[in-house]
Structure 1
Amino acid sequence: MIIIMSSKLFLLFENIALFSVIFLQLKPTIADSNNIIIRCIDEEREALLTFKQSLVDEHGVLSSWGREDDKRDCCKWRGVYCSNTTGHVKVLNLRTSDYDFARRKFLKGTISPALLKLHDLGHLDLSNNDFGGSPVPEFIGSLSKLRYLSLSCGGPLELPRKFRNDSRLEYLNLENSCLFSVGSLKWLSRLSSLRHLDLSYCALPPVNPSFIWHFNLSTSIETLDLSDNNLPSSSVYPWLFNLSRNILYLNLGSNSLRGSIPEAFQHMVSLKSLYLCDSELEGGIPKFFGNMCSLKELGLSDNKLSGQFSQAIQNLSCGCVVNSLEVLYLHDNDFTRPVPLLGGFSSLEELQVDVNRLNGTIDKSLNQLSKLESLSLDGNSFTGVISETFFSNMSNLQELVLADNSFTLKLSHNWVPPFQLKWLSLASCKMGPHFPKWLQTQNQLVHLDISNVGISDTIPDWFWDLSSKLSYLNLSNNHIKGKLPDLSLRFDGTRIGGTSIDINSNHFEGSIPPLPSNSPFLNLSKNKFSGSVTFLCSINVNTWNFLDLSSNLLSGGLPDCWLHFDSLFVLNLTNNRFSGKIPDSMGFLNNIRTLNLHKNRLTGELPSSLRNCSQLRVLDLGKNAFFGSENEYKSTLGLVRCLDLSSNKLDGPIPEEIMDLVGLIAVNLSRNNLTGPITPKIGELTSLDFLDLSRNLFSGSIPSSLSQLSGLGVLDLSYNNSSGKIPLGTQLQSFNASVYAGNLELCGLPLANMCPDEESTPSPGTDDDSDTLEDEDDQFITLGFYVSSILGFFVGFWGVCGYLMLNRSWSYGYFNFLTGMKDWVYVISAVNIAKLQRKFRN
């Protein structure tokens, strides 16, 4: 589902502001008709070159500046626009695109005061660059003709202490610039001509009430964005309601707004767009919204609003807003009951009521919304059949999200929809068993999710003709069978951001075909693919972040060509039939966070090249046939949080280097041939939540330092050669005796075997059913431990970041493997339910 954080009107106003500045300063003149060639001013050309010298241009953004073929005419340089009459530089636009910014292809350095020599500069846009936290130079306030200034996403910035009192600035965008040391917002009072102000994501200080009466933008301000600043209601409301009644666009989303929606909003009679999303507003939707005749967009999502949805809609439909409202966002609140009559909202273009508690069938009045472009109802409890009639008047529909309900789509085989969709999500609706033929008509799709819809068919050839425009494809959790074509030819390899593909949990078979080189996310797990993966070596350049080929029938050796996969964050090859050694080239996975080779037939020693994988959080090599000892853990696995080397043939003592990994949360070394005493340094792993050292050859006493791990939720030391008294401490005595089973010379609680210095008193777990309980627990303990990590990512409009999250209060139950793409939560494994029961029993 598309969540629109900035309104259409806001973008429109921004573009109008941009183009009006350019038009006013670059309009054609008589000089054009006389073919007079005006070159840039020498002084300004030199100023631009000086400005360039203060920047770090690693990616050649300014390669055209000073190039020999147009060295004399700076008006031909990238981002530089001059007057056609005077040659003076009027516009300097060096904004980095969002895509390049995500790939860190932007300018760095400082902003040189050489720009002061651009006397006629009216438009300056340096957005999406990084000036290293340096303050915005004081001279910015001295550019007297500057009307447009955008420094958004430029990293931490400090504004100049003052702007000129006669500033002509009309447009100011400092989004995500993290203002430091501004103290207050008094500097805004000097910008008397300001029409557009964007201070979102700026860590603004609370507005001082004594300043309210000095801040007067009543004659100019039209668009105001203060979102994502954590401003409290007591700070923002008094200041806001003193502003102009002529304000057109207002975004207060992602602040600390509490209580009911203030009635003072109704006095903003010119308001066209209002966003109060992602706060803690309570109550219902006030009736006064119904009388705001100019209101076109209303965003109230992600709050604590509640009540019957029919009452909320009635409050809106009782007045003139029913004729003007175009966008209504009410997702993720707590509204109940069925969707009421909405046919009266004749202008409605976007309706999002997903993730509420709505139920019943869909009211047929939605069919009357002929202007509807976006409809999102997912994450509710709707039921019933949706037929072709429902869509008969929706010729403008571009986004349809019905996922995670109990809808049944009853559409004829030859149905031709009246719309052309760009975004379609029908996950968990019922629409099988045949592949939906009507999709053949939808040739504009960029997002398609028909996962878990009951398809048990093969994919028709025509479907792959739709794939070239897709940026996201999810066919997972169906019963789709057959073989895949060459996907590298079917998907657009030049698409910015690539195509994310998820076809896991189906019945695809045969060899894995060549895959698109620019896909950030590829999940082909839980199918019947077989053969080798040598095709990976034919890929010289790729931008993969996530590759999951787990739970297939793949075999052969791991390819030794990982040099070209340095953008991988997650590689999951678990539960296949790979054999041989881990190739040395895996050490070139410089950005790998999760490496999962669990349950294969791999052998040999771990390659020393893995020491180069300095970003590893999770390493799972369990259930293979590795042998030898491990070394160099401190330099190799410095960031590892989960380590699973179980069910191999490792020998020798636990490497001391493991004890340097103080951030470890889970360690599984079970079912190896490890020897010697358990090192006392294990007590230094203070974050440890899961420890399994069972079924090895450890000897000697259990170190007393183990009792100091107060957060330890899962422990298994069974079937070793440990001896002596179990160290006293509430933690170690709280576990079931089965945790220590098979160590014949151990004594002390919770075992029935008392030590010589202890009295023979009954111990916990020695009642009549103790054997049953121990056997029951042991069934879970011998399963070992299986765990992976979190990945979220951002490439293009996707974001990239990885974190490991383990909820300690449920550590007996689950270790989650979460994938952050949209709202995906992919749970890989569940562990030890019996231990969860034990926790509550204790």
Structure 2
Amino acid sequence: MTTPLPISLFPFLLLILAICFTIFHANSNLLCIQSEREALLKFKNDLIDPSNRLSSWVEGGDCCERIGVVCQNSTGHVHQLHLAAPLSAPDFNALPAEWEPYERSKLRGKINPSLLELKHLSSLDLSNNNFSSIQIPNFFGFLESLTYLNLSRAQFQGAIPHNRRNLSKLHLQWVSGLSSLQYLDLSYADLRKATDWLQVTFQHPSLLELHLSACSLEDDPSPISVNSTISLVVLDLSENNFSSVPMSIFGLHGLLSIDLSSNSLEGPIPDYFRNISFLEVLDLSGNSLNSSTPNSLFSLNHLQFLNLSSNEIYQGVSEILLSLSRCCLDCLQSLDMAHNHLFGHLIDPLGHFKSLAHFLDTLNLGCNLLEGVVSETHFSNIKRLTTLEASQNRLRFQPNSSWILLFQCRIIKLGQWHLGPKFPDDISDGGILDILPTWFLNLSTQFEYVNLSYNKLTGGISYLNVRVFVDLRSNQFTGPLPRVFPTIQYLLLSNNSFSGPLFELVCNSLRKGPMECLAIEGNLLSGEIPDCWNHWRRLGYLDLENNNLTGKIPPSLGHLNPSVLNLRNNDMFGELPSTLQHSTSLIMLDLSDNHFSGSVPAWIGDKLSKLEILSLRSNNFTGHIPQKICQLQSLRILDLDNNNISGSIPKCFSNLSAMANKSNQNSYMFQWSSTSYMFQWSSTSTNLFCIRALLVLKGRVDEYGTTLGLVISTYLSTNRLIGEIPKELGSLVELRSLNLSGNLLIGNIPDEIGNMELESLDLSMNQLNGEIPSSFSNLNFLNHFNVSYNNLTGQIPTSTQLQSFGNFSYMGNHLYGPPLTTNCSTNRTPTNFANSGSRSEGSNVNWLYVSIVLGFVMRFSGVVAPLSYIRSWRHA
């Protein structure tokens, strides 16, 4: 029988329970260790954190609550540090304005050794930051508990440290002692001096994933034997310098994924891949592999993704289809063999294509030598296929005019198939001469991408029911602009005959839409640009050139903040709105060939710091060139031709660093174009999202696209500029074209200009005097040169280039010597037209030449003067 406890014990038991509860509660809210809290603060103090990501790392409080810090629940020790800069913010279709905060989010500075105080740290992720000023710290080799290390894209410099001691739990030479490491990513680290990477990594007992992409690795002459107990399953060696597949790979029988893309692999595809029987992913794209695909490759009955694109494989497509249909249909999801030399008929009589397409999600056979006729029956019973790419082959598509798309493809690329003359499908450069059919306009929104560019399609379009991308450039469409699906991001309607106003498209079709590119240049649009752009916040590319638009630039257009704004060759007028200064992401601003007036705003130089192309030519701008233009450090093309700008040329032009230094690597234009989402969409349409500009180089007007980034030019001709040519222009050594013609410039030509690397130089029709500097003999790259109609005297300097130009380049001066045919003595006193009426008795003036020159000037002015005032003549 249990004896009841004395009542006096109950208070004591309650006290014990309270103490236990307090201890339990304290453990459940355990603060981090004091020494580790101080270590983290020391670590933070040596970092540069532009975006203040580590703002929660302050004195006091619980360091386990700080961003990026993970503690063990039971002990409070710091267990993990996740300090990777975010990768998900700017995707490929991000605008330049969105890249700026992304770059600011990257940590910089130094790595403080205080991390050694974190004795229980098992995971350290510093990926995607910017530690380009330091090497990988040696003390990383002493982090005894580390099992996960990610330094990919962190931009560390120098050699990898080789500490071996105390690395009992990490996985890779300083990694070899880390016996528990399972994941290692050192992508974009320079490992050219790490000659033992193969021995260290391939023999590591616990490593599951190894990523060494873009590490400058080269062939290892000494293959190693791989223990059968090695557990590596994912191997990424892409973007290195291998000329052959490292033989040691074939000893890694447990591999599930191999990426050797973008190397320099040569010869046939090794037959040894058959040894890796569980392989699911194999990427050998972007190499120089030749011959044909070995049968053993198609015997891998677990293979799901196979990419052999961009090689030199020469093989009949029927052989490939047959091999795949025998072994891989149940597992293969994606096959990419584009950009090879595959030949033969895509559609075989035994139906292997249909069998293969029935199981695949993605099939890409573009840019090969395939031929034959395809009909809609070959697409019947295709259930899983979502992406079909077969552009740039010798195929003919002949569907029935009543064909209805029943399969689930979201992307179909059949570029340069022979599809005409009647309309059968939806692809570019197909020779189609027809009206856009009703069935196409009623397509389901399953389609993300539609490209019908460069055909001869006619008729009007009322509505485009496509989700993301529409390219109808260079056809013969007429009528008003179509309404579009609300999710459309890229709309390219250039070079058609669309007419009417912009109002319906801009103000009613896209309420809070995600449009990023709108290109409608080369149409017949009329009326004013509407003032309702406030909901087009993501628009990064707007091209409305070569239309009949009138009116002023609406204020709301200045709040878009695009990268490219092109309104060239319209009938717009007025001063530039001050709201444009908010477009701080502008790379290109082209307002040429309009009727804009007022002075060139100083805020262009003060606010538009990323500007690389500024073209205001052929307008009515007045006033002086603002000094703040010199603040545009990225400016590559400055075109102020054919205005009424007065004053002198600013000496501070020497501060335009992109014209004075090699700066392609800092080009916003190159960065924006290369990250443009548009390039993902088109393997068949080159230069799809290329920034273009019309430039007057070498005396003629040309359009520059892909080579625009190589053009560095300054055009100030046909204005009212006065004063001398600043010698500071000579510091612009990257400048390739300089045009100062048709002004009121005086004085001598600066010697410094002869030290530049100009390809085009035009100083004609000014009031320059003195001799052509002898330094002009150094201008070895000139292919256009003109100093005519000045007051220059003396002998033309001798050089291969200067003597290659005709008389027209020098006429209207007092020059002599080759290439001019008139032989004059070196001590001849040149004629001064101003004093020719009272010449001395010993003068040698030839009045025949004088009358010829004056007559030419008067007749030439009779042509040039109307061009300055009559717009239609100037355009013609």
TM-score range, shorter chain: 0.7 to 0.9
Q: Per-residue displacement from partner, 1:235-292 (whole Å, max 9, x unpaired)?
A: x433433x31221111111111223323233333222111122222334444443322
- Taking the aligned partners of 1:523 and 1:712, their CA distance within structure 2 comes to 33
Q: Does 1:264 align with 2:286?
A: no
SS in structure 2 at match of 1:78: coil
2:82 counterpart letter in structure 1: N
Deviation at 1:572, TM superposition (A): 1.2
The answer to which of 332-341 and 142-151 deviates more is: 332-341
The corresponding residue for 2:160 is 159
Contact 1:218 1:246 in 2 (8 A): no
**What is the one-letter code of the residue matched to 1:580?**
G
Residue 753 of structure 2 is aligned with which of 682, 687, 690?
A: 682
CA–CA separation in structure 2 for the residues paired with 1:419 and 1:388: 21
The 2-side partners of 1:327 and 1:94 are apart by: 34
Matching residue of 1:554: 572
The one of 396, 414, 434 aligned to 2:460: 434
- Measured after TM superposition, the shift of residue 83 of structure 1 is 4.3
CA distance in 1, matches of 2:33, 2:793: 87
Structure 1 residue 191, shift from structure 2 partner = 3.2
The Cα of 1:654 is off from its aligned counterpart by 2.1
Using structure 2 for the length normalisation, give the TM-score.
Answer: 0.73
Q: CA deviation at 1:451?
A: 2.7
Structure 1 residues 293 and 508: alpha-carbon distance in aligned structure 2, compared to 1, 3 A threshold: same
Matched with 1:197 is 210
Q: Report the Cα offset of residue 358 of structure 1.
A: 5.0
Q: Does 1:450 align with 2:461?
A: no
Letter in structure 2 aligned against 1:574: S
Q: Distance in 1 between matches of 2:282 and 2:579?
A: 53
Distance 1:642 1:334, change over 3 A: farther
1:555 is displaced (CA, Å) by 0.8
Equivalent residue, structure 2, for 1:225: 236
Question: Which residue does the alignment assign to 1:499?
Answer: 516
Q: Please give the secondary structure, in 2, of the residue aligned with 1:456.
A: strand
Q: For structure 1, which segment, 597-606 or 501-510, has the greater mean C-alpha deviation from structure 2 after superposition?
A: 501-510
**Residue 277 (1) aligns with residue 285 (2):** yes
Superposed CA RMSD in Å reads 3.6
Cα gap change, 1:149 to 1:454, in 2 (>3 Å):
farther
Task: Name the CA distance, whole Å, in 2 between partners of 1:696 and 1:358.
Answer: 61
1:37 aligns with 2:48: no
Residue 654 of structure 1, aligned match among 725, 738, 742: 725
Distance 1:783 1:265 in 2: 72
- Counterpart of 1:328 in structure 2 is 335
Give the Cα separation in 1 of the matches to 2:641 and 2:622: 11
SS in 2 for 1:610: helix
**Mapped pair 1:61 → 2:70:** no
Q: Letter of the aligned partner of 1:652 in structure 2?
A: G
**In the alignment, what sits opposite 2:106?**
106
Matches of 2:273 and 2:447 in 1, distance apart? Answer: 36
* Alpha-carbon distance change, 473 to 159 in structure 1, aligned in 2, over 3 angstroms: farther
How far apart, CA to CA, are the structure 1 residues paired with 2:303 and 2:519? 40
SS at match of 2:213: coil
Residue 798 of structure 1 is matched in structure 2 by: none
**Which of these residues, 809, 817, 820, is aligned with residue 748 of structure 1?**
817
1:215-614 correspondence runs (5 A): 219-233=230-244, 236-241=245-250, 243-306=251-314, 310-311=317-318, 313-314=320-321, 316-317=323-324, 319-335=326-342, 339-341=346-348, 342-345=353-356, 346-356=358-368, 361-362=373-374, 364=376, 365-380=378-393, 384=397, 392-395=405-408, 397=410, 402=415, 403-406=427-430, 408=432, 411-413=437-439, 416-417=442-443, 420-429=446-455, 432-435=458-461, 437=463, 439-440=464-465, 442=466, 445-461=467-483, 463=484, 466-467=485-486, 469-485=487-503, 487=506, 499-513=516-530, 514-515=532-533, 516-535=536-555, 539=559, 543-588=561-606, 589-614=608-633
Structure 2 match to 1:809: none
1:579 CA drift (Å): 1.2
Report if the CA contact (8 A) 1:40-1:82 is conserved: no
1 CA distance for matches of 2:746 and 2:365?
Answer: 60
User: Deviation per CA, 1:643-685, whole angstroms, max 9, x where unpaired?
Assistant: 1112222233322111111111111222223333433332201
Pair member with larger Rg: 2
Contact kept? 2:208, 2:233, Cα under 8 Å? yes
Per-residue CA distance 1:582-631 (angstroms, 9 max, x = gap): 01111222221111112212122101111211221111111212122212
Cα pair 1:382 1:406 within 8 Å, conserved:
no
Counterpart Cα distance in 2 of 1:694 and 1:386: 62
**In the alignment, is the contact (CA less than 8 A) between 2:366 and 2:389 conserved in 1?**
yes
Letter in 2 for 1:160: P
**Pairing of 1:66-85 with structure 2 (within 5 A):** 66=58, 72-85=61-74
Q: Distance in 2 between matches of 1:494 and 1:78?
A: 34
Q: The residue matched to 1:240 in structure 2 has which SS? A: helix
Q: Per-residue CA shift, 1:297-327, capped at 9, x if unaligned?
A: 121222334465x356446446413443221
| Mean CA deviation greater in 91-100 or 269-278 | 91-100
1:64, CA displacement in angstroms?
Answer: 3.4
Name the aligned partner's letter for residue 615 of structure 1: S
| Count of matched residue pairs | 710
- Partner in structure 1 of residue 699 of structure 2: none
Matching residue within 760, 764, 782 for 1:694: 764
1-structure distance, mates of 2:479, 2:557:
32
- Identity value in percent: 31
What is the CA distance between 1:128 and its match in structure 2?
1.3
SS state of the match for residue 51, structure 1?
helix
Change (3 A) 1:602 1:331: farther
Gaps of 5+ in 2: 1-23, 91-98, 163-173, 416-426, 660-711, 828-855, 866-876
The residue type paired with residue 228 of structure 1 is E
Match of 1:825 in 2: none
C-alpha distance 401-92 of structure 1, shift in aligned 2 (>3 A): farther
Deviations 1:124-150 (A, max 9, x none): 322211223423334434444433322
Q: Is 1:176 paired with 2:188?
A: yes
Instruction: Tell me the residue number matched to 2:7.
Output: none
Distance between the aligned counterparts of 1:280 and 1:414, measured in 2?
A: 40
**Alpha-carbon distance in 2 for matches of 1:381, 1:714:** 43
Report what 2:801 is aligned to.
731
Q: What secondary structure, in the 3-state scheme, does the structure 1 residue paired with 2:152 have?
A: coil
Is the CA contact 2:219–2:241 (under 8 Å) kept in the aligned structure 1? Answer: no
Amino acid at match of 1:148: Y
Counterpart pick for 2:775 among 696, 705, 708: 705
Q: What code does the residue aligned with 1:517 have?
A: R
User: Are the counterparts in 1 of residues 817 and 823 from structure 2 also a CA contact under 8 Å?
Assistant: yes
Distance 1:386 1:736 in 2: 60
Q: Structure 1: which amino acid aligns with 2:817? A: G
1:81 offset after TM fit, Å? 3.6
The amino acid that maps onto 1:376 is E
SS of structure 2 residue aligned to 1:98: coil
Shift in CA distance, 699/126, structure 1 to aligned 2, threshold 3 Å: same
Shift of residue 41 of structure 1?
2.9
For the Cα contact (< 8 Å) 2:567–2:591, is it kept in 1? yes
Match of 1:625 in 2: 644
Measure, in 2, the Cα distance between the counterparts of 1:525 and 1:237: 54
* Rounded Cα–Cα distance in structure 2 between residues aligned with 1:522 and 1:676: 43
Q: 1:584 and 1:397, CA in 2 relative to 1: closer, same or farther beyond 3 A?
A: closer
The DSSP-based 3-state class of the residue aligned with 1:746 is: strand
CA contact (8 A) 1:643 1:666 kept: yes
Cα displacement string for residues 685-738 of structure 1 (whole angstroms, at most 9, x for unaligned residues): 1x2112222333333433333232222222233343434433333222223343
For 1:489-524, what per-residue CA distance to the aligned partner results, in whole angstroms no more than 9, with x for missing partners? 8668797xx723322222333222343233332222
Q: 111-120 vs 339-348, which deviates more? A: 111-120
Letter in 1 for 2:53: V
The SS at the match of 1:682 is helix
* 2:67 is aligned with 1:93: no
User: 1:581: how far off?
Assistant: 0.9
In 2, the alpha carbon distance for the partners of 1:633 and 1:221 equals 60
In the other structure, the counterpart of 2:664 is none
Q: Which moved more, 1:574-583 or 1:521-530?
A: 521-530
Q: Is the 8 A contact 1:163 1:190 kept in 2?
A: no
